[in-house]
Amino acid sequence: MRPQEQTIPLEDAARLSGPLAFNLMFKPAGSLCNLGCSYCYYLDKADIYGGREPRMSLEVLEAVTKAYIHANDVPEVQFVWHGGEPLVMGLDFYRKAVEFQKKYANGKTVFNSIQTNGTLLTPEWARFFRENRFLVGLSLDGPAFIHDRYRLDRGGAPTFSRVMQGLQMLRTEGVEFNTLTTVNKASEGHGAQVYAFLKEAGSHYMQFLPVVEYVRFRGKKERPVIVEPLAPGAAPAFWSVSATGFGQFMADIFDVWVRRDVGTYYVQLFDSALAAWCGMKEGVCIFGKSCSGNAVVEHNGDLYTCDHFVYPAYKVGNVLQTPIRELMEMDLPAQKLSPVPLPAGLQRRMPAAPEPRHRGQRPLPGLQAFLLPHRPLL
């Protein structure tokens, strides 16, 4: 068998040879979170740093902000704040973040988005987000009986009512927000119900992420450790959505959306699938031929290729030790290029979709089932 040629997609070649443009996801609190969601793939990342739950210092924040803005050769720079739970850093941390962004913008326009579980939101947070034009992503899995199945706090208490209170604060203050909804075992069979709930909650921009994870049990530890799918002793997590369950969940939403809500409500998966079908840029990394132009920076400046790949083997370097421009100009895209073979009938209709990354480095047949032409797209 001939060895596969080492190639990268044309758009990646253009990116690497043209003006440098990339996105960073900031993890200022690492894996630190006030919740203990069963399926959280990031809680166990504390083990990489000796079991600690550290926080980004203002010195690191300023250094990374300056380097990130200066390394981008484009007029707009996007800061994405993630966790863990980024709000545990406190409001003053983000006031300093905005201050540093203004200090080093040098004529560039800076945008901010932040992903939160919503339980720590206050009117003061909401005002800050509105005044500084933050886009807020809110983690909300659906009605209480679904949301509270796996999204509990550290004491095992439900979180749905607190999230809804936080959502109301955002709406009252006029903060722009979207929702991020995981599709897990408890979600199966409830696609249309979850979609209707999110619409009623005021979400016009929705992301649905399939939870497909692998775990390993360690002695009497209550919470199993989420590991890479091919790790020794790895077994499918009991909260993972089934392939058929995810496909049907999305198909049920699509049946409602395509008849009533096109142009009014936006579902990331549908937008990305349609863009790929039309030969346009996908907009979501899992649908791309590679995962180029994106990286994750941890609390201490460590840089990883993706927040689902925060493992020692995928550490690229440290932005405090190596210029971030040099790290991002490395040939990273080829590390993740892994197309999924689709049924022949589907290949004639739509381009091959890339394999979902961990959550699960294995094909997700349910997504293929959703994409099969069992109904017209329009």
One DSSP character per residue, 163-228 reads HHHHHHHHHHHT--EEEEEEE-GGGTT-HHHHHHHHHHTT-SEEEEEE---EEE--TT-SSPEEE-
Select the more confidently predicted residue: 9 or 275: 275
Across the range 146-159, mean pLDDT stands at 96
Select the more confidently predicted residue: 196 or 46: 196
Query: What's the pLDDT score for residue 222?
Result: 67
pLDDT at 234 over 80: yes
Please tell me the pTM assigned to this model.
Answer: 0.83
| Range of weakest confidence among 63-72, 191-200, 281-290, 351-360 | 351-360
Report the alpha-carbon distance of residue 178 to residue 173 in Å, rounded: 15
- Closest by CA to 339, choosing from 355, 357, 359, 351, is 355
Report the alpha-carbon distance of residue 133 to residue 128 in Å, rounded: 8
Q: How confident is the model at residue 347 (pLDDT cuts 50, 70, 90)?
A: very low
280 exposed, middle or buried (CB, 10 Å; 0-12, 13-18, 19+)? Answer: exposed
Q: How confident is the model at residue 226 (pLDDT cuts 50, 70, 90)?
A: confident
- Closest by CA to 208, choosing from 219, 192, 224, 223, is 192
| Residue 162, φ and ψ in degrees, nearest 5 | -70, -40
Is 307 marked active-site?
Answer: yes
Query: What's the pLDDT score for residue 355?
Result: 35
Cα 42 to the chain's mean position, in Å? 11
| Residue 92, φ and ψ in degrees, nearest 5 | -65, -30
For residue range 177-220, what is the model confidence (pLDDT) as tens digits?
999 999 999 999 999 999 999 999 999 999 999 999 999 887 66
- DSSP for residue 296: E
> How large a percentage of the chain has pLDDT more than 90?
62
For residue range 6-33, what is the model confidence (pLDDT) as tens digits?
555 555 555 555 578 889 999 999 999 9
Query: What's the pLDDT score for residue 281?
Result: 74
> Are 204 and 267 in contact, with CB atoms under 8 Å apart?
no
| Range of weakest confidence among 38-52, 143-157, 218-232 | 218-232
CA gyration radius, the chain: 20
Query: What's the pLDDT score for residue 163?
Result: 98
Catalytic hit among 92, 153, 307, 331: 307
Across the range 350-377, mean pLDDT stands at 35
| Residue 297, φ and ψ in degrees, nearest 5 | -115, 125
Query: What's the pLDDT score for residue 305?
Result: 85
Task: State the first-to-last Cα distance of the chain, in angstroms, to the nearest integer.
Answer: 42
pLDDT at 364 over 50: no
Across the range 214-229, mean pLDDT stands at 80
| Range of weakest confidence among 71-80, 196-205, 269-278 | 269-278
> How large a percentage of the chain has pLDDT more than 70?
80
Cis-peptide, bond into residue 118, ω within 30° of zero = no
| Range of weakest confidence among 7-11, 265-269, 338-342 | 338-342
Report the alpha-carbon distance of residue 136 to residue 134 in Å, rounded: 6
| Range of weakest confidence among 85-99, 184-198, 225-239, 321-335 | 321-335
Report the alpha-carbon distance of residue 143 to residue 160 in Å, rounded: 8
For residue range 306-334, what is the model confidence (pLDDT) as tens digits?
888 888 888 999 999 999 999 988 745 44
Across the range 224-246, mean pLDDT stands at 91
> Are 378 and 270 in contact, with CB atoms under 8 Å apart?
no
Report the alpha-carbon distance of residue 145 to residue 186 in Å, rounded: 8
Could you tell me the strand order of the sheet in which 225-227 lies?
A: 225-227, 214-216, 235-236
Query: What's the pLDDT score for residue 229?
Result: 85
